[in-house]
Amino acid sequence: MEEKDFIFGSRAIMEAIKSSVEIDKLFIARKSESEISKELIDLAKEYKIPIQYAPVEKLNRITRKNHQGAIAFISSVSYVPLEELISSCYEQGKDPLFVILDQVSDVRNFGAIARSAECLGFNGIIIAFKGAAKINADAVKTSAGALLKIPVSRVKSLANSIKFLKDSGVQIISVTEKASEICYNINLTAPLALVIGSEDRGISPNLLYLSDQKVQIPMEGETGSLNVSVATSVLLYEVKRQRNSK
């Protein structure tokens, strides 16, 4: 990890926040009760920056310099509000196409998905504050720069965001091995958002419940499953194939 990926020290972090530097996550040492720490925490909450309280030993492993109990990781992209993401599509006369990533935490998978989504003309990626991969230099590199081109919206609640998308006329389709419907047999030409779950846990039950439809990719080999980024690419391509065939 390089120092350009993070800022340390309470005052330096506060100045960065006030200067509109995009902060991905803030680490605060547990039992940090100084006035400056409290001021930083209040500011982070005001700007809706995720805060994680960690043992001071963890912060020491990140940097040996005087971090004063606070380290902020810098995001490599500027996040777009969900409302703006949707309205921008409709204003341009586009049918929205989004990818919702639920707990996809591997940076390489995240970057590969972003690359496929951008190449195939999707309008944005939606992730949660907690549990998502950090959008750092490695993610941007894996995406071949696509993360600097495709809008990313980071939201507090994926469930609430899905409800908002549905109210905005966007169909929610979850990709899961538990589905009975094959992805090639359903209409994917409407405004839609594909929900993709983590490789180990899949899609959260509450998000599956909110979905309009659940689909699976047919498998014929003995392995039983695809890597999450590969599976996503298969679905993204099928969406574009159907739309181009209209």
pLDDT tens digits, 74-96: 887 888 999 999 999 999 988 99
**106 and 133 in contact (C-beta within 8 Å)?**
yes
State which CATH number among 3.30.1330.30, 3.40.50.170, 3.40.109.10, 3.40.50.280 fits the domain covering 3-74: 3.30.1330.30
In words, the CATH class of domain 82-244 is: alpha beta
List where CATH 3.40.1280.10 sits in the chain.
82-244
Q: Is the Cα dihedral 61, 66, 69, 71 positive or negative?
A: negative
Beta-bridge partner residues of 153: 126
Distance CA(146)–CA(16), nearest Å, equals 25
Task: At 27, give phi and psi (nearest 5°).
Answer: -100, 125
pTM: 0.81
Beta-bridge partner residues of 54: 29
List where CATH 3.30.1330.30 sits in the chain.
3-74
Distance CA(138)–CA(61), nearest Å, equals 19
Interaxial angle between packed helices 10-18 and 35-46, expressed in degrees from 0 to 180 and rounded to the nearest 10: 30
pLDDT digits (tens, 9 = 90+) for 98-142: 999 999 989 999 999 999 999 999 999 999 988 888 787 788 888
